[in-house]
Amino acid sequence: EQLTVIGRTIARMHLVGAITPFKHRVSIGPERLGDEPFAFLKSCSLLPPEVCEPYRTLVDVLLATIHERFAQLPDIEQFSIHGDFHPGNILWGASNTPHLLDFDDIGTGPAIQDLWMFISGDRLYAQDRLGDILDGYYEFREFDTDELLLIEPLRTLRIIHYAAWIARRWEDPAFKQAFPFFASRRFWDEHILALKEQQSALQEAPLIY
Q: Which pTM does this prediction carry?
A: 0.94
Q: Is 84 a known active-site residue?
A: yes
Contact (Cβ atoms closer than 8 angstroms) between residue 91 and residue 99: yes
> Of residues 60, 75, 84, 114, which has the active-site annotation?
84
**CB distance 186 to 49 below 8 Å:** no
Q: Which amino acid is at 117?
A: M
Pick the catalytic residue: 102, 105, 135, 146? 102
What confidence score (pLDDT) does residue 26 get? 86
Inter-residue contact 83 to 107 (CB < 8 Å): yes
Residue 25, pLDDT score: 85
Strands 107-109 and 79-81: antiparallel
The pLDDT of residue 24 is: 78
Known active-site residue 104: no
- DSSP 3-state of 204: coil
pLDDT value, residue 67: 98
Q: What is the pLDDT of residue 44?
A: 87
Length of the chain: 209
Output the pLDDT for position 17: 95
Residues 6 or more apart whose Cβ sits within 8 Å of residue 39? none
25 contacts: CB under 8 Å, gap ≥ 6: 80, 106, 107, 108
Q: What is the pLDDT of residue 96?
A: 84
- Residuewise pLDDT in 10s, the chain (209 residues): 899 999 999 999 999 999 988 887 889 999 999 999 999 999 888 899 999 999 999 999 999 999 999 999 999 999 999 999 999 999 998 888 899 999 988 999 999 999 999 999 999 999 999 999 999 999 999 999 999 999 999 999 999 999 999 999 999 999 999 999 998 899 999 999 999 999 999 999 999 99
Domain positions in the chain: 2-201
With contact defined as beta carbons under 8 Å apart, do 36 and 98 qualify?
Answer: no
Dist. CA 67–CA 139, nearest whole Å? 31
Question: What CATH class is the domain 2-201?
Answer: mainly alpha
d(CA 72, CA 76): 9
**What is the dihedral angle through the alpha carbons of 176, 182, 186, 188, rounded to the nearest 10 degrees?**
-160
Q: Within 10 Å of residue 58's Cβ, how many Cβ atoms?
A: 16
